[in-house]
Amino acid sequence: MAQSLVVSAQEMDSQMQCAARVREGFPGRTYHIVTYGCQMNAHDSENLAGMLEEMGFAPAAQEEADLVLFNTCCIRDNAERRLLGNVSALSQRKREKPDLLIGVCGCMMQQAGGAQRLLSLCPFVDLVFGTHNLYRLPELLLSALSGQKVLAIGGDERGRIPEGLPVKRASAIQGSLTIMYGCNNFCTYCIVPYVRGRERSRRLADIVREAEEMASAGIQEILLLGQNVNSYDGGATFPELLRALDGVVPRIRFMTSHPKDLSDALIAEMARSRSVCPQFHLPVQSGSDKVLREMNRVYTRAHYLERVRALRQAVPDVGLTTDIIAGFPGETEADFQDTLSLVEEVQYDSAFTFIYSPRAGTRAAAREDFVPPQVQHERLDRLIALQETATARALRSQVGSVQQVLIEGASRRREGYLAGRTGRGMTVNFPGPSSLIGKLVFVRILGTGANTLRGEIAQGECSK
Ligand code: SAH
Ligand code: SF4
Ligand code: F3S
């Protein structure tokens, strides 16, 4: 088992004592969190909110808050640029209200030089901390409230696991549960291993307990989170963890899986499990063996396609989604054609498509054979167009079936309509009363919209 580096109970206690001092010494304050990046960061923000409310802070709109906290991402250049723009825009308000506290945390702050870059542009920021110091928010905030400038970006670069952090969940229906932190894969384009530390898995018992707590709070769907969930190693394998969680809540999803670790045991567990939804996010990144090798993805196109076939054989209605990078250094038109043909062959339900963005300190960023931006954009456009036809086809394939849908809320588009997702992860809009929000119902699929399905509530059996 990978070494578990759980933060000690004494250390968590001393954070709770700091929280009590904030609560008593600085009552009646408000906060606002701005989150960038992936689901991991969104869930970190739920922990940040949980800690702040433990300290007596109440949520508020950004314009009214006493503390504005930015939880940052640095996966691509545009995430960083947006952050710098939005923090800079607060300089005026900070001048008008000097006791406004501005904090910046998360991946970009953990990145080498990230905090310095921010502070040279925005010297008025009061509080900076990285991913390894998230659980220390009470201690850090206490210092900032006492008038100190706080910079906490150190810590064990392998990272540690804070158990028992308070959490304020964004939804009462669906919730995220982190099963492992960090990444060991060092794909040559990716900054994540540098800012999230080495892989470390939570103990099976801790995960099961949290899932049970979520179930008793009424949560219907749990999203298991990790950069690479199928290398989970917390005293059990990932399929064993899924087995232990089966039936705890009606629905379980997970992300992200690495194709190199997609085992037969995981496929078998997916086919067997009552709770695991027939949806699989399996980032491919490229369809070219040469590019995959240069990305250090450790699988070939043939291996990936074989795994997709095995998965579909065991779980015939599985919905596949993926991530793809266009314009990786050295990618030729022929390499890109391999990506298009793979996308054509797999027929994903949807794909997140990105233009390669060099990240300082990664191996690919040191290359000199960058693909010119206009070529990258043109490839991205072709990829998106191809995926749109596959998405439309996948949606159409559902018309006429009856699907189990978890109702997530009122439809944003139409009065009197509800919106929810099928097991496969497709959004469905249908008429119904708001009293059904949070419930699982059967919906007959009648037609398709741009990226969604239309339906009506059906009685009786689900065609799965
Ligand atoms: N751990 C996950 C996802 C990590 S980041 C995985 O391995 O799949 C999410 C996606 O961002 C990646 O799958 C990749 O497609 C994209 N990405 C990561 N670094 C990038 C970069 N430097 N430029 C463009 N896209 C990138
Ligand atoms: Fe990044 Fe690769 Fe790790 Fe995913 S598996 S987080 S893409 S290094
Ligand atoms: Fe996620 Fe961005 Fe960090 S994608 S792990 S928030 S760099």
Distance CA 254, CA 232 (A): 12
Indicate whether residue 76 lines ligand 1 (CB < 6 A).
yes
Distance CA 205, CA 203 (A): 5
CATH of 174-396, one of 3.30.70.20, 3.80.30.20, 1.10.10.10, 3.90.920.20: 3.80.30.20
| Block residue for tokens 């906490």 | 152
pLDDT recorded at residue 152: 93
Q: Going by CATH, does the domain composed of 402-457 fall within 2.40.50.140?
A: yes
Q: Work out the burial of residue 174: count CB atoms within 10 Å of its CB; fewer than 13 is exposed, 13-18 middle, 19 or more buried.
A: buried
pLDDT recorded at residue 4: 56
Give the model confidence (pLDDT) of 144-161 as tens digits: 999 999 999 987 777 889
pLDDT recorded at residue 31: 98
User: The tokens of 202 are what?
Assistant: 């939570």
Give the model confidence (pLDDT) of 192-217 as tens digits: 999 999 999 999 999 999 999 999 99
Q: What is the pLDDT confidence band of residue 93, given thresholds at 50, 70 and 90?
A: very high
* Ligand 3 atom with least separation from CA of 40: 1
Closest CA to 225 of 45, 41, 438: 41
Indicate whether residue 83 lines ligand 3 (CB < 6 A).
no
* CB-based contact 357:73 (threshold 8 Å): no
Indicate whether residue 228 lines ligand 1 (CB < 6 A).
yes
Closest CA to 39 of 230, 224, 262, 233: 224
Three-class secondary structure of residue 133 per DSSP: helix
Indicate whether residue 352 lines ligand 2 (CB < 6 A).
no
CA of 70 to the centre of ligand 3 (A): 13
Maximal C-alpha separation, the chain: 64
Indicate whether residue 281 lines ligand 1 (CB < 6 A).
no
Distance CA 455, CA 433 (A): 14
Distance CA 354, CA 331 (A): 14
CA of 257 to the centre of ligand 2 (A): 10
CA of 38 to the centre of ligand 3 (A): 5
* CB-based contact 268:315 (threshold 8 Å): no
Provide the residue ranges of all domains of the chain, joining segments of one domain with +.
3-152, 174-396, 402-457
Three-class secondary structure of residue 263 per DSSP: coil
User: The tokens of 336 are what?
Assistant: 């890109």
Indicate whether residue 321 lines ligand 2 (CB < 6 A).
no
pLDDT recorded at residue 158: 78
Q: Which long-range contacts (CB under 8 A, 24 or more apart) does 299-306 make?
A: 299/259, 299/260, 301/338, 301/342, 303/259, 303/260, 304/259, 304/342, 305/342, 305/345, 305/346
CA of 32 to the centre of ligand 1 (A): 28
Give the model confidence (pLDDT) of 161-194 as tens digits: 999 999 999 999 999 999 999 999 999 999 999 9
Q: Which CATH architecture has domain 3-152?
A: 3-Layer(aba) Sandwich (3.40)
Three-class secondary structure of residue 95 per DSSP: helix
Pairing between β-strand 350-355 and β-strand 67-72 as defined by DSSP bridges: unpaired
Indicate whether residue 190 lines ligand 3 (CB < 6 A).
no
Indicate whether residue 359 lines ligand 3 (CB < 6 A).
no
Distance CA 73, CA 141 (A): 21
pLDDT, average across residues 106-110? 96
**Residue 357: nearest ligand to its CA?**
1
Q: What is the pLDDT confidence band of residue 2, given thresholds at 50, 70 and 90?
A: very low
Give the model confidence (pLDDT) of 221-264 as tens digits: 999 999 999 999 999 999 999 999 999 999 999 999 999 999 99
Indicate whether residue 307 lines ligand 1 (CB < 6 A).
no
* Sheet containing strand 150-152, strands side by side: 58-59, 30-35, 67-72, 101-106, 127-129, 150-152
Indicate whether residue 325 lines ligand 1 (CB < 6 A).
yes
Percent of the chain with pLDDT over 90: 94
Which pTM value belongs to this model?
A: 0.95
CA of 141 to the centre of ligand 2 (A): 31
pLDDT recorded at residue 464: 43
CA of 230 to the centre of ligand 2 (A): 13
Give the model confidence (pLDDT) of 402-439 as tens digits: 999 999 999 988 899 999 999 999 999 999 999 999 99
